[in-house]
Amino acid sequence: MSYVTDFLEKLPLCSGMSGLELNALSAFLEARRIPAGQIVFREGETGQELFVVRSGRIGSYVSQSDGTKREIYEHVPGCLFGEMAVIEGEPRSATCYAKEDAELFVLDAIDFYRLVWEHPIIGVKLLSSMARVMVSWLDEASGFLGGLVRWGETARRRAIADDLSGLFNRRFLEETIRLRFSRGSGGSRRCALIMLDIDRFRVINAVYGPQAGDAVISSAATAFGTLLEEGEIAARLSGDEFAFFLPAGGEERALALAERIRSEAESLWIEFRTSREKPPERVAITVSLGVAWSPEIAATPDELLGAADRALFRAKEEGRNRVCRA
C-alpha cells in the first residue's frame, strides 16, 4: 500500500498526518477504476461512499427543470468529493461521472465512521482538513452560484422578452391578457389592447438592408415604451408588429395612447446610406394602429386580439399613419 500512502501524503486533505496515520488511513481505502462515461453516483441517491481522485477527471452536473443538464464542477487528481452526502446523510446533490478513464480511492461511509471512532486523532485531522477543503470549495461554489443566478435571470428574461426591442414578447403578452380575463368577470374585465404595424417596413428592409430594419424597430420600441403608464405593457409580436396592453384601461385611455404613439412615431426619423459613396438619406417613420377594448367590444382574450387585429388591418387599408377603433 506504499503507493497509496505516497499519494495521500501529497494531499492537502492529509496535511499534518504522520506516516503511521497515513498507513492506517490507506487500509480503509479501496482503489476503483472508472471508465470514461461511467456514472460514479446519481443525483438523489443515498450517499454511501466518499471519493478521492487519484487520476483522470470526474465531472458533475445537476438536472434542470426543463430536462437539460448543467455542468457545475470538475474534480481533478487530489480532489475529494461525495463527502457532504456521507457526513450529512442527505441525498446526492449532483450526478458525478468519469469524463475520462479515472482511478478513485473510495472510503465507505461505515469505514469512515469506524476510522473516526477507532483512530480519533486521525479522525480529528481528517475532519479538520475536510473542513478546509469545503471552505475552499464553497468559495469557488459561491462564484458559480453567482454566475448561475445571473444565468437564470438572463434565461428568465429571454423567456418573456424580445432581444431586439427590449420589450416583452408575444407569449408574455398573450398570457398576461388571458390572466387578466381569468381574474375578472363582466364589467371588471375592463382592459384595452392596441396593435401596431410600422408602415412600409419591408421597403426600408429592401432598400437599406436588415440592419436598418433592426435600427427602426429598436428606436421605435424605445420611443413607444416611454409613453406607457405604470402597469401597461409594450410587446413586440413579430417583425414590425407591436402591441400595447392596458390591463385597467378603457376606450378613452386606449385611443389617447394610440394617438400619442402615432404622433411620436411620425416625429421619428433615422438616417441610412444605400452605399458608402452616397450621402445619408433621412427616413421618416409612420405607424398604423388598431384599438379594441373590453367588455364592450370583446368578452374573451381571443375576441380582444381579433378585434384589435381587424382594426389594425383597416387602418392600413384606409391609407396608413392613422388609428382605427374596433
Residue 262 lies in a domain: yes
Q: pLDDT tens across 186-244, in order?
A: 556 789 999 999 999 998 888 888 888 898 999 999 999 899 988 899 999 989 999 99
Whether 146 and 194 map to the same domain: the answer is: no
Counting Cα atoms < 13 Å in the Cβ hemisphere of 246 gives 26
Identify the CA nearest to 266 among candidates 311, 213, 320.
320
Runs of H (alpha helix) within the chain: 2-8, 19-26, 83-88, 109-118, 120-160, 170-182, 201-208, 210-225, 251-267, 301-317
Q: pLDDT tens across 89-134, in order?
A: 778 889 999 999 999 999 888 887 777 777 777 777 777 666 666 6
First to last CA, the chain: 86
User: What pLDDT is stored for residue 254 in this prediction?
Assistant: 95
CB atoms inside a 10 Å sphere around CB 192: 28
Residue 163 lies in a domain: no
Residue 287 lies in a domain: yes
Q: What are phi and psi of 34, to 5 degrees?
A: -120, 115
Interstrand relation of 269-272 and 58-63 (parallel, antiparallel or unpaired): unpaired
Contacts of 6 (CB under 8 A, 6+ apart): none
**CA distance linking residue 9 with residue 70, whole number of Å:** 34
> Which among 115, 139, 158 is the end of a domain?
158
> Which among 111, 135, 158 is the end of a domain?
158
Look at residue 138 and tell me whether its pLDDT is greater than 70. Answer: no
Residue 108 lies in a domain: yes
pTM over 0.75: no
Residue 99 lies in a domain: yes
Whether 28 and 53 map to the same domain: the answer is: yes
CB atoms inside a 10 Å sphere around CB 76: 12
Whether 232 and 202 map to the same domain: the answer is: yes
Whether 142 and 219 map to the same domain: the answer is: no
**CA distance linking residue 45 with residue 86, whole number of Å:** 11
175: domain CATH number is 3.30.70.270
Look at residue 149 and tell me whether its pLDDT is greater than 60. Answer: no
Domain that holds residue 11: 2-158
User: What pLDDT is stored for residue 133 in this prediction?
Assistant: 62
Whether 153 and 67 map to the same domain: the answer is: yes
Q: What is the mean pLDDT of residues 237-256?
A: 93
Contact call for residues 94 and 84 (beta carbons, < 8 A): no
User: What pLDDT is stored for residue 134 in this prediction?
Assistant: 60
> Which among 111, 133, 158 is the end of a domain?
158
Contacts of 132 (CB under 8 A, 6+ apart): 12
User: What pLDDT is stored for residue 323 in this prediction?
Assistant: 97
Torsion of CA 205, 210, 214, 217, to 10 degrees: 20
Coil, strand or helix at 115 = helix
Whether 152 and 191 map to the same domain: the answer is: no
Overall number of domains in the chain: 2
**CA distance linking residue 30 with residue 38, whole number of Å:** 18
